[in-house]
Amino acid sequence: MVKTLHMASKKPKILGWILNLFGKEDSNQINVELPFAALLFTLLAASGVTIYESWKKLCRIELLPTFQREAAEITRQIEVLGYDPLTVMYRRAEKTKSRNYREFLLGYVSAVRSGGNIVNYLKSKLRSIFEVQSAASIRSIERLGTLVEAYAVMLIVTLCSYILFIVFATTSVFEPMKASGTPGVDTTTVCILIFFVTPLISILFMIIANAERKSNLIGVKQPYRAVILPLIIAVGFIAAVALIPPLASLTGPSLFPLVVTACLLVISIPPAWVYMRIAKVNGDAESSMPSFLRDVTEARKTGLSPEKSIIHATKRTGYGRFCETLNLIRSQMEWGVSLRKIFVNIKNKIQNWPVLVNFLILVETIKIGGGSATALEMLTDYSEKQKDVEVNKKSLLKPYVILAFIWSVLIALTTTMVATTVWALTQISLPGSVAMPLEVMEKQINLFSTGIILQCWLSGFFVGKVNEGTFAAGFKYSAMLVITAYVSLLISQNFLGGMYAAVV
C-alpha cells in the first residue's frame, strides 16, 4: 500500500521539488484552491471522515494540483515516517508561505488538541476564507484597473511618438537641425518603433496581465489549434504580396491597410468562433451550477435519495447549453452508471474549473457520507457565494472593454488627422517650408495605418486576458478592434482628405 501511494504521488512530489529548487512556493495557487479544499474537508468532517482519510482523498483529486502535492507529502510523512497527522500539519504550517493556509492548519490543530468541535471550526474558517477571497478579488480588479490605465498611458505615449515622427518625416522645417548634425528620422527608425518596440511593450503588458489574471477555463487548446491553418495562409499571402511583382499593387496606400486588416481577420475569426462556443457552454454551466446544487439540496431535504435528487434537479430547464450536460447526467444515472464515471464524462464536455470542482465535491460527499442534507446545504451556500464573487468581478471588468474601443478610435483618428493637417500646411507657402508631394503623405499614412491596425490587434489579446482571463478570448476582441480601427481610419482619411482637398 505504501509503495503504491508513493508511486502515485511521484509526479506531484517532483513538481513540488522543482518549486522548492527555485525557492518559490506557489502561494497564489494555494490561496485559489484553499476554499475548495477547505470545503471538501468540512463536508467530509460533517460526514464523519477523519482528517487523515480526507488528506488521502485529496491525493486523488487532480483538479486541485497544489493540494494534491501537499496531500501526497503529508500522507507520505504519516505512512512512511510514522508521524501523526496533527504533527505533520503543524510542521507544514511552519513551512508554507501562504498566510491563509497557515492559519487554516494551525487552527485545525488547535481545535483538535483543545477538544473543540471540528465541524463548527471548519464552517467558521470556511466562511472567513470566502470573505478573504472576495476581498482579494476586489483588490485584484483594482490592480488590473491600474494595469489597464498604464497600458492606456503607453498607447498615448505611442501616439505622441507617431505624431512627432509624422512632423519630422513630412516637413522640411527641421532641415537646419539636420544640417547642424542633429540625427534625422528615417523610415527604418519609424518601422522599428511601429513594428518592434510598440508590439514588444504590448507583449510585456500581456505577461504582467497573465500573472495577475487567471481563467476559470482549464485545458482550452482548441482555439490555438484552430489558428494554425489561418495563420499559415495569412503569412503566406503577405509574403506573396511582398515578393511577387504582379501583387505589388496591393501594397499601395489605399489597399495595403485593407490587406493587413483582412489577413488579421482571417487569423482571428476561426479561433474566435471556436472559443465563443466553448465560452458559451462553460459560461452557462458556471452560472447554472449553484441553481442545480440548490435543486439537489432541496430535493434531498424532502427525503429523496442523493441519486434521485440529482435526477430530479436535471429535469429543470432554462440552463442554456448546460441542459445538454444535465440530460447526459440524467440518462447515465437512469442506466445505472456510477457517479465517478459520470464525472469523467462531464470533464469531456465542461472545462470550467469551479464547476468541475463543485461537481467533484458533490460526488465525493455522496459516495463517502451519503450526501446528507446538511452537507449539501453547505456545498450549495458556498457555491452561491462563489458565483456572486465571479459576477461582481465580471461586472467591474466590463468598462475596460469599452475603453479598448475608445483608444482604438482615438489613435486612428488622431494620427490621420495630424498627418493630413501637416500635409495641408505644407501646401501653403510659408518661410522655410517646402510643399510635400501627395505621394509622400500617402506613404506615411499607409505606414502608420498598418502599425495602428497591428497595435489594435495585439491590444485585443491584452483586453481578452484582463476581461476573461484567457488569451483565447483575445481573438474575439482582436477581430472587433481591428475592424474598429480600420473603419475609423477609412472614415477619417476620406473625410479629412476631401475637406483639405477642397481647401487646397
Question: What pLDDT is stored for residue 423 in this prediction?
Answer: 66
| DSSP-derived secondary structure for 313-359 | HHT----TTHHHHHHHHHHHHHTT--HHHHHHHHHTT--BHHHHHHH
Q: Do both 220 and 303 map to the same domain?
A: no
pLDDT band at 275 (very low <50, low <70, confident <90, very high): very high
- Of the pLDDT bands very low, low, confident and very high (cuts 50, 70, 90), residue 369 is low
Q: Establish if 87 belongs to a structural domain.
A: yes
pLDDT for the residue 2? 36
Query: Do 205 and 312 fall into the same domain?
Result: no
Q: Which tens digits make up the pLDDT trace of 183-235?
A: 445 667 777 888 888 889 889 999 999 888 888 888 889 999 999 999 999 99
pLDDT digits (tens, 9 = 90+) for 238-257: 888 888 877 777 777 678 88
Task: In whole angstroms, give the CA distance from residue 322 to residue 320.
Answer: 5
| pLDDT at residue number 5 | 36
Tell me: do 372 and 422 sit in the same domain: no
User: Are both 367 and 443 inside the same structural domain?
Assistant: no
Q: Which domain holds residue 65?
A: 2-116
CB 299 within 8 A of CB 377: no
- Count how many domains the chain has: 3
Q: What is the mean pLDDT of residues 363-372?
A: 74
CATH number at residue 368: 1.20.81
Distance CA 120, CA 47 (A): 13
In a shared domain, residues 166 and 259: yes
The grid cell for 352 is 470550467
Of the listed ranges 77-86, 275-284, 364-373, 456-465, the least confidently predicted one is: 364-373
Backbone φ and ψ of 316, nearest 5°? -75, 140
Assess if residue 9 is contained within a domain: yes
The predicted pLDDT at position 13 comes to 42
Regarding whether 256 and 202 lie in a shared domain, the answer is yes
Lookup: cell for 154: 503607453
**Of 74, 30, 82, 81, whose CA–CA distance to 52 is shortest?**
74
What are the tens digits of pLDDT across the range 145-154? 888 888 888 8
Q: Which three cell numbers stand for residue 341?
A: 464515471
Q: What is the pLDDT of residues 293-323, one digit of tens each?
A: 898 888 888 888 888 888 888 888 888 888 8
What is the mean predicted confidence (pLDDT) over 26-33?
78
Residue 434's pLDDT band (boundaries 50, 70, 90)?
low
> Is residue 132 in some structural domain?
no
Residue 448 lies inside a defined structural domain of this protein? yes
Rounded Cα distance between 427 and 23, Å, is 65
Q: Which whole number is the average pLDDT over 440-452?
A: 78
Query: Chain-wide mean pLDDT for the chain?
Result: 80
Per-residue pLDDT, 15: 40
pTM here? 0.82
> Amino acid identity of 162?
Y
Q: Give me 375's grid cell.
A: 452537507
Comparing 446 with 454, which gets the higher pLDDT?
Answer: 454
- Least confident segment among 74-88, 168-182, 357-371: 168-182
CB 161, CB 451: distance < 8 Å: no
DSSP 23: T
